[in-house]
């Protein structure tokens, strides 16, 4: 034992090199301890332990092949059949966040399109519909969210866990409403938002009519198909004469609305001209008259605000088409009232007139169907 080792022992500690030396068998500090460690090492048998029972079989036969993956649930299979497996994946994974996803997708599309600040600043339904109209890119996200909503209609986490009746319902929404839209055209069809909006997307679980738990597939068809058909297809028994008659009435209504709107605009223009003339004349006056210029300026602002208010009151935009469309919407809302009388329609938001975009063909379709219901 070296003097340094003695010093370490006296100090009552072993530094790492000494410990390592002992561990590795190079005992330099303490022969007794080294011998003890050698005894500890001897605990390890020289040969492998004889395997027993199951391990013996495993070492003889090897590991069994991994079990095949369990079959996918019916709902997921159906989604894959419609060639959009990402929809089903999203539906299963993001199920608890369906509404957030929908809001995010729609708000992203709606915000730049309509200069809306945030999803929270606008109504949920309105944004979701506007999103489809404004941004085709949002369509896939929206439809994915639709699938999510369908999968979670029963408040369940995974599509595979859905009861059969709800699976049927989700299958209906995803397979018969969403998938055909992709098959027909990558661009979002006007029918889409109407159909989805009035059915699966905005149906809160537990709220209103219990459309999430149809008793059978036939119930689904009875419940959902007629509404889509009523909105976007003409009734088969509708005569051409009736349709032409109603169309003439609509044209007349539209003309009257256009005339009213034109008259309003003429009045506004005349008033604006008068204000402008006054302001122009005021600018020619001396400094003492400048206060009146300010008054006239304020008047113009007031008039402009008033015009805006008038426009808002008419539910219209700034141009003729908006006025006409808004008047159409007014008529549409009036004509859609009979749909409320149908037992399966209990969502008043569906009928709100401010959700349709002016250029939407579905407005036309909706008008026609609405005419039919008149």
Partner 1 sequence: MAEETHMSAATQVVGSGALGPAFDSVLTAAQAGAPWALRLLYEEVSPAVCGYARGQGADDPEGLVNETFMRAFRRIGDFAGGPAQFRSWVFTIARNLLIDERRRHSRRVIETSVEQHLEDRETVASAEETAMEAVSEAAVIALLHRLPADQRDVLLMRLVGDLTVAQIAEALGRSVGAVKALQRRGLRRLQAAVAKGGAPL
Residues that bind partner 1 (CB under 8 A): 12-16, 19, 22-23, 30, 32-33, 35-37, 39-55, 58-66
Report the residue number, 30 or 242, with the smaller CB distance to partner 1: 30
Closest CB 141 distance from partner 1, rounded Å: 34
Closest CB 158 distance from partner 1, rounded Å: 24
Closest CB 56 distance from partner 1, rounded Å: 9
> CA-CA distance, 309 to 329, in Å (whole number)?
18
Closest CB 68 distance from partner 1, rounded Å: 15
Report the residue number, 55 or 93, with the smaller CB distance to partner 1: 55
Which pair of structure tokens corresponds to residue 204?
């809160």
263: number of Cβ within 10 Å: 10
Closest to 173 (Cα-Cα) out of 138, 149, 155, 154: 149
Are the beta carbons of 190 and 365 closer than 8 angstroms?
A: yes
Closest CB 11 distance from partner 1, rounded Å: 11
> CA-CA distance, 373 to 307, in Å (whole number)?
35
* The dihedral sign for the CA sequence 201, 163, 94, 99: positive
> CA-CA distance, 124 to 147, in Å (whole number)?
17
Report the residue number, 66 or 236, with the smaller CB distance to partner 1: 66
Report the residue number, 19 or 252, with the smaller CB distance to partner 1: 19
> CA-CA distance, 66 to 54, in Å (whole number)?
17
Closest CB 160 distance from partner 1, rounded Å: 24
Size (the chain), residues: 374
Closest CB 23 distance from partner 1, rounded Å: 5
> CA-CA distance, 3 to 13, in Å (whole number)?
14
The DSSP result for 208-273, as a single string, is SS-TT--SSHHHHHHHHHHHHHHHHS--TT--HHHHHHHHHHHHHHHHHHHHHHHHHHHHHHHHHH
Q: How far is CA 237 from the centre of its chain?
A: 37
Report the residue number, 34 or 279, with the smaller CB distance to partner 1: 34
Report the residue number, 14 or 116, with the smaller CB distance to partner 1: 14
Report the residue number, 55 or 184, with the smaller CB distance to partner 1: 55
Are the beta carbons of 138 and 105 closer than 8 angstroms?
A: yes
């Amino acid at each position: 034992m070296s003097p340094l080792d003695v010093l370490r022992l006296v100090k009552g500690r072993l530094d790492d090199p000494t410990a390592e030396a002992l561990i590795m068998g190079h005992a330099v500090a303490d022969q007794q301890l080294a011998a003890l460690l050698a005894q500890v090492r001897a605990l390890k048998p020289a040969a492998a332990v004889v395997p027993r029972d199951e391990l013996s079989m495993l070492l003889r036969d090897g590991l069994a092949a991994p079990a095949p993956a369990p079959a996918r649930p019916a709902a997921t299979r159906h989604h894959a059949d419609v060639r959009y497996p990402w929809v089903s994946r999203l539906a299963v994974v993001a199920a608890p966040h369906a509404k957030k996803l929908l809001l995010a997708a729609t708000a992203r599309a709606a915000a730049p399109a309509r200069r809306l600040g945030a999803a929270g600043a606008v109504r949920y339904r309105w944004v979701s519909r506007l999103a489809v109209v404004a941004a085709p890119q949002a369509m896939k996200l929206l439809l994915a969210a639709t699938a999510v909503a369908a999968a979670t209609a029963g408040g369940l986490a995974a599509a595979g866990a859905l009861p059969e009746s709800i699976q049927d319902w989700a299958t209906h929404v995803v397979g018969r409403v969403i998938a055909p839209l992709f098959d027909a055209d990558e661009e979002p069809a006007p029918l889409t938002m109407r159909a989805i909006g009035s059915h699966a997307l905005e149906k809160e679980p537990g709220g209103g009519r219990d459309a999430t738990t149809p008793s059978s597939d036939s119930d689904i068809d009875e419940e959902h198909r007629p509404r889509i058909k009523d909105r976007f297809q003409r009734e088969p028994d509708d005569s051409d004469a009736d349709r032409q008659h109603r169309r003439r009435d609509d044209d007349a209504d539209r003309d009257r609305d256009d005339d009213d709107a034109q008259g309003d605009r003429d009045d506004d223009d005349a008033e604006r001209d008068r204000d402008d003339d006054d302001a122009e004349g005021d600018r020619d006056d001396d400094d003492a008259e400048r206060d009146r210029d300010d008054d006239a300026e304020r008047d113009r602002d007031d008039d402009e605000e008033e015009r805006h208010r008038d426009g808002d009151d008419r539910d219209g935009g700034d141009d003729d088409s908006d006025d006409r469309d808004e008047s159409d919407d007014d008529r549409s809302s009036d004509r859609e009232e009979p749909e409320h009388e149908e037992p399966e329609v209990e969502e008043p938001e569906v009928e709100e007139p401010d959700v349709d975009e002016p250029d939407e063909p579905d407005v036309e379709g909706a008008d026609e169907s609405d005419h039919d219901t008149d």
